[in-house]
Amino acid sequence: MTLPIQALATQLQSSLQTIKEQTVPQAVPSGVAQPQGGGFKALFEQGLQRVAEVQHIATVDGNAVAAGAKNAPSLAETMVAMQKSSVAFQELIAVRNQLVRGYTTLINMPV
């Protein structure tokens, strides 16, 4: 009975080690234009592109695992990708909320 648990623990540790060694590629998905110049707009566009990329990776990994593809990532890697996607989207929403709050404050200021 302990043999399968030990094998599972070993597999989980190796999966976690693989995840630690991997980095999410910095490339922008095809069809998405890179922002030119500097400033807030370019920074915000890069953030949006990065969130879209992370969500795309999570979707592709999830579909591959669900379909049982031979080259699919492990379940642990897929779950980590989905969590990264979730956190990135939550941060994007937080930034949007702060921008709206700042805009509202500026609009309501007496001139």
pLDDT tens digits, one per residue of 46-75? 889 999 999 999 999 999 999 988 888 999
17 in any annotated domain: no
72 in any annotated domain: yes
Task: Write down the mean pLDDT value for the chain.
Answer: 79
Distances (CA, A) of 92 to 1, 49, 63, 76, 104: 45, 11, 24, 24, 18
22 in any annotated domain: no
61 in any annotated domain: yes
**What is the extent of the structural domain holding 51?**
39-111
pLDDT beneath 50, residues of the chain:
1-2, 23-26
75 in any annotated domain: yes
DSSP 3-state of 36: coil
Answer for the pair 80, 24: CB distance below 8 angstroms, yes or no.
no
Q: By C-alpha distance, which of 3, 2, 31, 18 is closest to 77?
A: 18
* Domain total in the chain: 1
